[in-house]
Amino acid sequence: MRVTRETTQCRTSYCPSGQRAVRGDFRGTTDSYDSRMSPTMLKAVSARLNVRTLVGLAALLIVGPSPAQAGQQERSQRPYPALQREPGDAEIVARGRAVYGISCRACHGVDLRGGDLGGPNLLRSGLVLRDDRGDLMGPVIRDGQTGVGGSAMPPQNLSEDDLHAVVEYVHDVLGTASRQGGPPPGEEVALDILVGDAAAGEAYFADKCAPCHSPTGDLEGIATRIDTPKELQDTWVRGGARNAERPPITVTVTEAPGNRVSGQLERLNDFLVVLTDADGRHRSFSRRGDTPLVEVDDPMGAHRDMLPLYGDADIHNVTAYLVTLQ
């Protein structure tokens, strides 16, 4: 079927219901089709659209959605019922927290994000989000439910008061969790990480860092080169700037006295060591226990070894000290 429009107003037989007319001269032809057409036929139909038709369609888009479309969009953006409710009674929420800890935490986790026994994340559950004061959650808690893949939620033998309390607790957590990760209320405040003790940081540096670094050598003027405390802290904890080239890890393999081969380490495991020597040749050595002797020199090894040992106070103190190295 072919429809032609040659006026500045939409004809009733052409315009969809609720569509507004577009000002301007819109001339063109369009071909209607249905879902039974093959992809080849659809391509042929699309090819017959002329340029002025496409311009007219673009104008329809610029005008904006119809009132019916706007209403549909508004409904789709409304929050779930779980996010529209008033806060629950504090005593009931506290009771629900206790009941949840006894009956639910093992499966759904201490933070409702899933536990060791495979329960789903309740904070992202569509059923929980659509629930209105237990109308959906209540039957599942009371009677259980079989999920996809054979997983099952066993029925819980709870009184009506306890069941209601658990529902209130879950919604209370959900209401606060929706704001997790956001900035604190009020005006933005600049982050100040210089909260450590510079003297304690200097002592820590002398004990742990001085074997490789010197405040009058490689770190002289470090606070001038990296003048942002946060970036300075990130750099020293990481062992270098984010995009800096890392020094290579080298290895020396000794098969027998006097037979030593050194080069850049490529691979090392319990059974094999692979290196690239100074001539660019790849050398592989089989390992059996401690034979051959393998000695690895990793310039960044100390930083990696220290990462699990740093405490918050250590990091704050060392940063406070390094800032003084202008």
* pLDDT tens-place string over residues 253-268: 998 888 899 999 999 9
Q: Do 145 and 93 belong together in one domain?
A: yes
Show the tokens assigned to 316: 């704050």
Residue 182 lies in a domain: no
Single out the residue of 242, 201, 193 nearest to residue 325, CA to CA: 201
Residue 189 lies in a domain: no
315, 323 Cβ separation under 8 angstroms: no
Residue 28 lies in a domain: yes
pLDDT tens across 85-113, in order?
Answer: 677 889 999 999 999 999 999 899 988 98
Residue 183 lies in a domain: no
Residue keyed to tokens 């209607």: 32
How many percent of the chain have pLDDT more than 70? 69
Choose the final residue of a domain: 74, 96, 128.
74
Separation between Cα atoms, residue 167 and residue 134, nearest integer Å: 6
Q: Do 213 and 314 belong together in one domain?
A: yes
In which domain, by residue range, is 227 found? 198-244+305-322
Residue 230 reports pLDDT greater than 70: yes
Q: Do 15 and 91 belong together in one domain?
A: no
Q: Do 103 and 62 belong together in one domain?
A: no
User: How many domains in the chain?
Assistant: 4
140, 151 Cβ separation under 8 angstroms: no
pLDDT higher at 17 or 250: 250
Q: Looking at the chain, list the stretches that DSSP marks H as alpha helix, in order from N- to C-terminal side.
A: 39-47, 51-63, 67-76, 90-103, 105-108, 126-130, 137-143, 160-177, 198-208, 222-225, 229-238, 301-306, 312-322
DSSP single-letter state for residue 294: E
Q: How far apart, in Å, are the Cα atoms of 62 and each of 57, 69, 165, 257?
A: 9, 14, 51, 82
Buried b (16+ CB within 10 A) or exposed e, 142-161: eeeeeeeeeeebeebebeee
Domain holding 123: CATH number?
Answer: 1.10.760.10
CA angle 79, 80, 82 (to 5 degrees): 120
pLDDT tens across 160-201, in order?
Answer: 999 999 999 999 888 776 555 556 667 777 778 899 999 999
Residue keyed to tokens 């003297």: 199
Q: Do 91 and 157 belong together in one domain?
A: yes
